[in-house]
Amino acid sequence: MTKRIVILGGGFGGMYAARALHRRLGDAARIELINADNYFVFQPLLPEVGAGSITPGHAVSPLRFLLQGVYVRKAVIDSVDFERRVVTVFQGVQRLPTEVPYDHLVVALGQGVDLSRMPGLEEHALKMKTLEDARRLREHVIERLEHAQISQLPETKRSALTFTVVGGGFSGVETVGELKELIDRSLPFYPDIDPSEVRVFLIEYANRILGEMPERLGTYAAAALTRRGIEVKLGTGVASATGTQLVTSDGEVIDTRTIVATIGNAPLPVVRRMDLPFAHGRIAVERSLRVQGRDNIWALGDCAMIPLKEGAQERSDFAPPTAQFAVREAKLIARNIAAVIEGKPAKPFAYKSKGAMASLGARRGVADVMGVQLTGFVAWIVWRMYYLAFLPGMATRIKVLLNWVLDGLSPRSVVQLRAYVPPQLRHVYYRAGDRVYDAGSRSDGFYTVVSGAVEMTRPDPETGEMTTRVIGPGGHFGERLILGATRRKTTVRAVEDTKVLVMERDEFMKLAEGVAAFRDYFRPYMERHGVKWPPEQG
């Protein structure tokens, strides 16, 4: 009987695991990868995308091109039923729930970002986690330069030209280096901005940056950034943030309209909902990469806490969340799943880092390669050559190389392209007979009828018989979204031409927090369902 192997996530761990499994098992197993996007993002290049030296489309590769022979499913993962061995996803235009069965499940969903511990940071900081984050950063920086070019208010111009990056790890250092290069190479096109008016900060809570690298390289990196005019603040945390200021842990107030947070890694909500053992915020796995206490569940990459030796206790005893390790983990997970299928023992994960590299921007970098420490231009060249070779697919390598060559030969573009973002509060029209949503589909909004009418059908909670209710202007439905539910329990159709106002959950909660009349209107409903109202802040 053909085994079904399902992989959750299309990052370094998931993509390379799917590729290794297909190469090892071929047609002996059905390998399926589920991801919310249909592309693989080469994460190390995101800072360069954010700085405009690489176009967003050239930092990604289509999963269907990379994984020929693997079934790729573009869908949102909702939950996993370990007893029944099925993954429930929402897919397609209607976001209907679909169950995907598996014999072996590989969790490679990476990590999300949680900035809620620092007041205001979640609301006002840009992130550097996804392709959209990088694209948004570039557009934001150019908008700040455009604003400063025409501003007549000194304090507004000062805050527009102050840029702050929080976090001195690889992502933070590379982001601040590329950010400074974007600004420096753009200033010739903004004659009313003097370079001396620009301030760029790198804030790190530890006593040095690039703590994962040898101290000498971290010291060199800090000095190199400082020489380029970047103010490096060590031993400094973030107390709070607003749209125009950042307050540090030592009380300093920085007037800035740009905060980039590269900190706050946290499990994704879908991973937190899984009934799996956790250690230090990540899935606890054995050295074989099998989840502790689960025979057919495996995990790798950023979401997994992988011991490098027996009795691991210290942080250094576990695999770091880097692409270098994820690729090796993927190869082992494929070997071990194949071994288990064949009734053979699984092997423990054992790998020693070959080194680490970081780009500092302006053709400077640091690298530790097989114990050899490199700095400056040579390290930067090694960084680029390594990642160029590491890119999956020849077409992607050629595109990135052309981007680099053209960026070195021509001025940095300051074109500002804005991607369309659907509003979270919007009107939707339905003709009589149109389906609004079905029972079981994904909860995607809270609805208020503006004109017309809809019919709601649902089973009676006591008798189980189907009941109907007509909702006219001023009425609302879809409240389960507010309660945090992910699926609908009712079916709603328009009984006449109807206009509705659709609101996302975040917008609903913001209104409830800020408008007393709105909050009081829904208080009885919430209390009937045992929901604390108003919700706790934080």
In this predicted model, what pLDDT tens digit does every residue of 478-508 receive, in sequence order? 887 667 677 888 999 999 999 999 988 888 8
What's the pLDDT at 534? 58
Give, in degrees to the nearest 5, the angle at Cα 475 between 469 and 478. 75
What's the pLDDT at 538? 40
The residue extents of the domains of the chain are: 3-36+75-112+268-353, 121-261+356-409, 425-528
Residue 513 a catalytic site member? no
What's the pLDDT at 509? 80
User: Within 13 Å and on the Cβ side, how many CA atoms surround 212?
Assistant: 20
Distance CA 38, CA 437 (A): 25
In this predicted model, what pLDDT tens digit does every residue of 151-165 receive, in sequence order? 989 999 999 999 999
Q: Is the pLDDT of residue 111 over 90?
A: yes
In this predicted model, what pLDDT tens digit does every residue of 214-245 receive, in sequence order? 999 999 999 999 999 999 999 999 999 999 99
In percent, the amount of the chain with pLDDT more than 90 equals 74
Distance CA 379, CA 355 (A): 12
What's the pLDDT at 439? 86
Which phi and psi (to 5°) does residue 113 adopt?
-130, 130
Q: Which pTM value belongs to this model?
A: 0.87
Q: Is the pLDDT of residue 351 over 60?
A: yes
Q: Are strands 29-35 and 39-41 parallel, antiparallel or unpaired?
A: unpaired
pLDDT classification of 530: cutoffs 50, 70, 90: low
The two tokens of residue 125 are 């900081």
Q: Is the pLDDT of residue 461 over 90?
A: no
Catalytic residue from among 174, 178, 181, 329: 174
What's the pLDDT at 202? 98
Distance CA 85, CA 4 (A): 10
The better pLDDT of the pair 530, 353 is held by 353
Distance CA 416, CA 511 (A): 32
CATH for 121-261+356-409? Answer: 3.50.50.100
In this predicted model, what pLDDT tens digit does every residue of 379-407 receive, in sequence order? 999 999 999 998 988 888 999 999 999 99
Reported for 283-287, long-range contacts at CB under 8 A and 24+ positions apart, including other chains, are 283/107, 286/348, 287/348, 287/349, 287/350
What's the pLDDT at 19? 96
Q: Is the pLDDT of residue 526 over 80?
A: no
153: burial class by Cβ within 10 Å (0-12, 13-18, 19+)? exposed
Distance CA 230, CA 176 (A): 8
In this predicted model, what pLDDT tens digit does every residue of 303-323 receive, in sequence order? 999 999 888 888 888 999 999
- Topology match between the domains 3-36+75-112+268-353 and 425-528: no
Nearest to 221 by CA among 372, 325, 373: 373
The better pLDDT of the pair 30, 519 is held by 30
Q: For residues 329-348, give the mean pLDDT.
A: 96
Q: Determine which of 28-32, 445-449, 502-506 has the lowest per-residue pLDDT on average.
A: 502-506
The better pLDDT of the pair 402, 534 is held by 402
The two tokens of residue 315 are 């942080």
CATH for 425-528? Answer: 2.60.120.10
- Helix and strand numbers (H, E) in the chain are 14, 34
Q: Is the pLDDT of residue 535 over 70?
A: no
Superfamily for domain range 3-36+75-112+268-353: FAD/NAD(P)-binding domain (3.50.50.60)
- State the SS3 of 221-282: HHHHHHHCCEEEECCCCEEEECCCEEEECCCCEEECCEEEECCCEECCHHHHCCCCCEECCE
What's the pLDDT at 537? 45
